[in-house]
A and B are shown apart, each in its own frame.
Chain A
Amino acid sequence: MLLEIKSLSASYGSIKALFDVNIEVAEGELVTLVGANGAGKTTIMKVISGIQRASGGSVEFAGKNITRLAAEKRVRLGISQVPEGRQLFTPMSVHDNLCLGAFTRNDANTKCDLDEIYEQFPILFERKDQPAGTLSGGEQQMVAIGRALMARPKLLLLDEPSMGLSPLLVDQTFATIKKLAKQGTTIFLVEQNAYMALSIADRGYVLEGGHTTISGTGDELMSDERVKNAYLGV
């Protein structure tokens, strides 16, 4: 397993946000976690990337226990997160945002090779000297994904990539995610848009009240009555 989360818990002060969360992601897989607003999806992401501390359980990455490792060190191990709400360095240029994504690579300063990113997202090439904050929501999402990819991650964490985007842009963003998965990137995707997420995922988990309840392949979950009723609106 590339990522293995075992009976993980986390809290904000005295409020328990997560308990007994169990998730596995194998290399090359696209795994999604769906759940309602406030179920703790973003907290799980923050615990995996190290922004939020776990209060119990363990997070293992490529066989190494990283539960107590600092966030910046996890990036060096190969975990890259596209945070909720994109979190760009808004006053800095698109180019600088992308280059900072390669911060942990030793060749970052001399060789900020953006060709691959610009090939993936041609519009960003046109915007490369603009402050990232002046881009449209969809373009900003591309910058956020591009920035995360610049670290050449083994595992890409995507937190609510569809948030705040128009339906057309949501389709585009999911097409990009699908393409990245096809190219072999291991992806762990957290989404409120359960239908979209499950339709492209190899496997999925459902998070309810801070706790993983149902799991299965994307198709299994899409045809599961409980999931249908609660999250797919059918």
Chain B
Amino acid sequence: MSAQFLQFLFSGITVGAIYALVGVGFSVIYNSSNVINFAQGEFVMIGGMATVFLSAAGVPLPLAIILAVLAAVIIGYLVEKLAIEPAKGSSVVNLIIITIGVSIFLRGLAQVVFDRNFHSLKAFSGTEPIQIAGASITTQSLWVIGGLVIATLVLGWFFNRTLTGKAMLATSYNKDAAKLVGINTGRILQLSFMIAAFLGAVSGILIAPIALTYANVGVMLGLKGFCAAMVGGLGNPMAAIAGGLLVGVAEALTAGYLSSAYKDAVAFIIILLVLFFMPSGLFGRKEVDKV
């Protein structure tokens, strides 16, 4: 493995980890409502921007991060409560259009509350890169990858071991049956928006020191996260993680070996190929149903 390839791989995994976290948010909400939440990218933006502005105001970084994540989770809750819940019973397409409206609204609001400029966050633990086999990786990349690993473990535990997690899965498999065992499916949808906002905000904060953050940063990151979820197979949070890493690495390799001009096209080419040949995604949910 050449040092150059390793270098591209590192940057691919880093950005892929971010796509993965955003993608999981898409999957979690899709699972409880069949809705694609196009405001997912805005949670990323809120996380990054709120942290930048809080720490600029003198709040110590760890506290700023906690407050920013908390703010995003509250906004996630409010989005469900104020925009999705009143439209309960509408078709899925209507709900998706509502999330597009929410996305535009949040971006506009951010330009008023924050500003229209580009911002960078200080790296969490210095800028001295680490050398591995001739390639270098920044400590911030390690933060990003570590964040993804922790999120994966926690989500795995949540869905497989806790009653609330199982209730969320049950709701995604059969909503009426979930109601019949006493699961409040409305509450599950609220929770899924809060989890999605949490993951989005965390990824927005982790990536802010590497890429710049600004009021519209969520547009492209949201779309890439959507690609991650689609490539992996919508409705399977763990598959979104694999999808995110795949898209990220493919992007980095294309940018490195071909041209960075094609970088953004890669994700969408992958999504087209997957939809043509494996419409339910690479790791799409296998239906095990016997009548």
Contact = CB atoms under 8 A, between A and B. Distances in A.
**Number of contact residues on B: which range applies?**
20 to 34
A75 B184 CA distance: 11
Interface in B242-291: 285-291
B288 A72 contact: no
B180 interface: yes
Interface in A83-100: 83, 87-92, 96, 99-100
Contacts of A104: 181-182
Contacts of B288: 90-91, 131, 133-134
Nearest to A133: B288
A140 interface: yes
Contacts of A223: none
B290 A49 contact: no
Given A100-B167, A131-B288, A89 B180 contact: no
A81 B181 CA distance: 8
A33 B134 CA distance: 77
A45 to B, nearest CB: 10
B115 interface: no
B169 A109 contact: no
Contacts of A88: 174, 177
Interface in B138-177: 162-163, 166-167, 169-170, 173-174, 176-177
Given A72-B185, A164-B291, A100 B180 contact: no
Interface string A192-213: 0000000000000000000000
Task: Point out which of A72, A134, A136 has the most chain B C-beta atoms below 10 A from its C-beta.
Answer: A72
A66 interface: no
A40 interface: no
A103 B176 contact: no
A90 B289 contact: yes
A92 B169 contact: yes
Nearest to B184: A72
B179 A100 contact: no
A31 to B, nearest CB: 20
Contacts of B177: 83, 87-89
A51 interface: yes
B180 A51 contact: yes
A36 B176 CA distance: 24
B67 interface: no
B137 interface: no
For the complex of A and B, the 10 pairs showing the least CB-CB separation, nearest first, are A75-B182, A104-B182, A133-B288, A87-B177, A71-B179, A89-B173, A109-B163, A89-B170, A72-B182, A72-B184
5 contacts: A49-B180, A83-B180, A91-B288, A92-B166, A99-B163
Given A89-B178, A100-B170, A151-B181, 11 more contacts: A50-B179, A72-B184, A75-B182, A83-B180, A87-B176, A91-B285, A92-B173, A99-B166, A100-B166, A109-B163, A136-B290
